[in-house]
Each structure stands twice: as structure tokens, then as C-alpha cells.
């Protein structure tokens, strides 16, 4: 079974500011509840082919994985795919102008759990959706407060 979770939120902040903050891997531990550390494998700045290693805690487990940037259109879309980790995953950030100085940010996680993880894919989808909603609320709070 595949996991495919799409979550969106409107943020009262200009698109350029939202996209720049969200696309910077160094900010991930601030707004992602489950991400604990980030380490650049390749040198910044972010570009297609860049690799970034993350350590997260999800569903009570420590998960280490490396993402490679597959698509990067500043202010529009960022697509990352795992090159190492517990199962293949693709994460997409999308930003669009929502009018009146607001930005619509969408976060999509798609993957194909393998082994034991495949058995818990329905629970994993639910938990990912819940975590994504919390994370988007966190980035909204941070950016709207000007932190």
C-alpha cells in the first residue's frame, strides 16, 4: 500500500518569504516537530542534486534518511526524494499566492513502505497527515509572528 498525504495551509506572509523559509533545510528542525537534526551532505546553497541528511523521530522510532533535491523552482515548488532511509519517500512543497499578502503552502508526502512498514501504511498515512498539519501550523505561527 502506498502513502500519499497532502496538507495545505494559508499563511499571512508574502510568498517569497514563506518559500525561502520553508525551502531552507536549516529551518526544518524549527518548524517540523519530528525533525531533530539536519546535515548538508553537499554544500549549500540548495539546488537540484543537493543532498541533505535528516534525523527524525516518528511513530516512536528514530529515523535517519537522506533527501536529494529533484526539482527546485524557487517560490513555486521543491521536490525531494529519499536516497537513503527506511522506505522510499518523496516530499513536495508547493507555494502559491493566496491574495492579500497571503501564501498557500502545500506539503505532500508520497511513499511506498516496505516490509513491516507496509503493514502499518494506513496508520502511517494518518500519523503523517496529523504531523503535517501540526508542522504547517508551526510554520504559519513562526512566519506570521515574524520570528
For residue 87, CA distances in Å to 3, 43, 82 come to 11, 25, 8
And the C-alpha cell for 34? 519530528
Cβ–Cβ under 8 Å, residues 75 and 24: no
What's the per-residue H, E or C state across 32-90?
Answer: CCCEEEEEECCCCCCCCCCEEEEEEEECCEEEEEEEEEEEEECCCEEEEEEEECCCCEE
The domain ranges of the chain are 3-145
Could you count the other beta carbons within 10 Å of the beta carbon of residue 108?
Answer: 16
Residue 122 φ/ψ, nearest 5 degrees: -60, -40
Would you state the pLDDT for residue 35?
Answer: 95
Tens-place pLDDT, residues 100-122: 999 999 999 998 766 545 555 56
Pairing assessment for the beta strands 61-73 and 3-11 based on DSSP bridges: unpaired
Pairing assessment for the beta strands 3-11 and 102-111 based on DSSP bridges: antiparallel
Q: Which CATH class is domain 3-145?
A: alpha beta
Tens-place pLDDT, residues 1-42: 588 999 999 999 999 999 999 999 999 999 999 999 999 999
**Whether the predicted pLDDT of 147 surpasses 70:** yes
Amino acid at each position: 500500500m502506498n502513502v500519499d498525504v497532502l496538507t495545505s495551509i494559508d499563511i499571512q506572509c508574502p510568498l517569497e518569504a514563506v518559500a525561502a523559509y520553508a525551502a531552507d533545510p536549516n529551518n526544518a528542525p524549527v518548524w517540523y516537530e519530528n525533525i531533530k537534526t539536519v546535515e548538508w551532505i553537499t554544500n549549500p546553497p540548495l539546488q537540484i542534486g543537493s543532498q541533505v541528511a535528516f534525523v527524525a523521530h516518528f511513530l516512536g522510532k528514530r529515523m535517519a534518511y537522506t533527501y536529494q533535491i529533484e526539482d527546485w523552482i524557487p517560490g513555486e515548488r521543491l521536490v525531494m526524494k529519499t536516497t537513503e532511509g527506511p522506505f522510499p519517500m518523496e516530499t513536495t512543497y508547493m507555494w502559491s499566492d493566496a491574495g492579500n499578502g497571503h501564501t498557500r503552502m502545500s506539503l505532500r508526502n508520497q511513499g511506498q513502505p516496505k516490509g513491516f512498514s507496509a503493514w502499518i501504511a494506513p496508520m502511517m498515512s494518518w500519523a503523517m497527515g496529523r504531523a503535517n498539519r501540526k508542522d504547517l501550523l508551526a510554520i504559519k505561527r513562526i512566519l506570521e509572528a515574524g520570528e
